[in-house]
Amino acid sequence: MPTDSPLGDLPDAGSDAAAQVTVSGHLTGPEAAEVLDLAQRAAQEDGVGPLSEHVMLHLRYGGDRRSRNLLLWRAGRLAGYGHLDPTDPVAGPSGEMIIDPAFRRRGLGLMLVRALIAEAGDRGLRLWAHGDLPAATRLAAAAGFQRTRALWQMRRSLQSQLGQPELAEGIKVRTFLLGRDEDAWTALNRKAFARHPEQGAWTREDLDLREREPWFDPAGFFLAERNGRLVGFHWTKIHGAAVEAHERGDADEHGHEPIGEVYVVGVDPDERGTGLGRALTLVGLHYLQDRGLLQVMLYVDEDNTPAIKLYESLDFTHWDTDVMFTRRPE
């Protein structure tokens, strides 16, 4: 068991004297594997993954050394995990956490969230809860958090008819070229999402990490150009099975059918109003449909009314919600 930076029992953190929280800036390979197993158990219990893609990449590849990993131990067993990202200079630290289903309803969730608060310091804390589960809402309220943001998951069937993409004159669409398009895509993504708190902060390293993921496929990463200049993109993603299994429609090892995702759609601000975002979305939807997938999903901020209207016009409907809770500095 790791022993660096032990927080132990915090005041009013619960009555389980056998529990302890330890904090480190880096996890060993076995520790990361144990956390990933914990995340899988929680997902099977709750029906929703407890950690974002950002944190899962952190666990698999080491992540930003400034991030903090909080491990909650009880009698030598890993009972919970918290991830703290302190890198946002404007919005402040953000966190995510899991409690093992076998150790719930013992006050350990409150103990772990208070450990995250203590580690975040005097800048406050933003905490993501995936799936908008009632237990997460109760825990957030008990720890003094307020609901401040919601991210919708929307879905549509790919078994119904899709419209055809209508590209403006002068626009050409091609697929992503590994080793050539990374820097141009990173610059356009930063420009397209300049006001987005997460997507606009992506670096070349963030793209490189995703290129290492087994789901990454440049054939499903579409780039729009005008006179050779990159002006838009639609990056698709396929969840749930190895690439070879997608065409067969096989379920993954947990029995989940493969599902496509409108992973990121971005348009140069100079091209807005030309219909490029809608056209690129349809290009990607046709690609996912041609792969034999039955459903497609996407994420969009609840208050992004123009984007929601676009997706609703393409027959997407609200499916689920991720919630951000915020605890202001005292």
Task: Tell me: do 258 and 176 sit in the same domain.
Answer: yes
- The model's pLDDT over 284-301, given as tens digits with 9 standing for 90+, comes to 999 999 999 999 999 999
| Overall average pLDDT of the 310-318 stretch | 97
Question: Domain boundary residue among 124, 151, 178?
Answer: 151
Task: Tell me: do 139 and 222 sit in the same domain.
Answer: no
Q: Express as a percent the part of the chain with pLDDT over 70.
A: 90
Task: Tell me: do 257 and 181 sit in the same domain.
Answer: yes
pLDDT attached to residue 115 = 96
pLDDT attached to residue 8 = 33
Distances (CA, A) of 111 to 82, 114, 153, 190, 269: 11, 5, 30, 37, 45
Indicate whether 143 belongs to any domain: yes
| Overall average pLDDT of the 145-168 stretch | 96
| Overall average pLDDT of the 104-117 stretch | 96
What pLDDT band is residue 256 in, cutting at 50, 70 and 90?
Answer: low
Task: Tell me: do 183 and 83 sit in the same domain.
Answer: no
Top mean-pLDDT range of 104-118, 231-245, 252-266: 104-118
Question: Domain boundary residue among 94, 122, 151?
Answer: 151
Three-state SS at 188: helix
Nearest to 308 by CA among 158, 156, 186, 195: 156
Task: Tell me: do 25 and 137 sit in the same domain.
Answer: yes
- The model's pLDDT over 24-80, given as tens digits with 9 standing for 90+, comes to 988 999 999 999 999 999 999 999 999 999 999 999 998 778 899 999 999 899 999
Task: Tell me: do 139 and 35 sit in the same domain.
Answer: yes
- pLDDT for 14 beyond 50: no
Task: Tell me: do 84 and 202 sit in the same domain.
Answer: no
Q: List, in order, residues 6 or more apart from 127 with CB less than 8 Å away.
A: 94, 95, 96, 97, 113, 116, 140, 145, 324, 325, 326, 327
Q: Which amino acid makes up residue 77? A: R
Please check whether residue 11 is in contact with residue 56, taking contact to mean a CB–CB distance below 8 angstroms.
no
- pLDDT for 253 beyond 70: no
Q: Which amino acid makes up residue 142? A: A
pLDDT attached to residue 251 = 42
Nearest to 69 by CA among 111, 19, 112, 103: 112
Three-state SS at 9: coil
- pLDDT for 5 beyond 50: no
Distances (CA, A) of 105 to 88, 118, 142, 230: 32, 22, 13, 52
Indicate whether 300 belongs to any domain: no
Task: Tell me: do 179 and 279 sit in the same domain.
Answer: yes
Q: Total domain count for the chain?
A: 2
Task: Tell me: do 211 and 244 sit in the same domain.
Answer: yes
Task: Tell me: do 137 and 169 sit in the same domain.
Answer: no
Three-state SS at 115: helix
CA distance 189 to 184: 9
- The model's pLDDT over 192-226, given as tens digits with 9 standing for 90+, comes to 999 887 888 899 999 999 999 999 999 999 999 99
The phi-psi region of residue 180 (left if phi > 0; otherwise alpha if psi is between -120 and 50; otherwise beta) is: alpha
pLDDT attached to residue 15 = 52
Indicate whether 68 belongs to any domain: yes
Indicate whether 252 belongs to any domain: yes
Q: What is the DSSP letter of 13?
A: S
- pLDDT for 152 beyond 60: yes
What pLDDT band is residue 241 in, cutting at 50, 70 and 90?
Answer: low
pLDDT attached to residue 4 = 34
pLDDT attached to residue 27 = 92
Indicate whether 303 belongs to any domain: no
Indicate whether 310 belongs to any domain: no
Average pLDDT, the chain: 89
Q: Which amino acid makes up residue 316? A: F
The tokens for 15 are: 């009555």
pLDDT attached to residue 186 = 97
What pLDDT band is residue 97 in, cutting at 50, 70 and 90?
Answer: very high
Task: Tell me: do 84 and 181 sit in the same domain.
Answer: no
Indicate whether 313 belongs to any domain: no
Task: Tell me: do 147 and 167 sit in the same domain.
Answer: no
Which range of residues forms the domain containing residue 79? 19-151
Indicate whether 1 belongs to any domain: no
The tokens for 112 are: 């772990």
- 262: domain CATH number? 3.40.630.30
Question: Domain boundary residue among 129, 151, 173?
Answer: 151
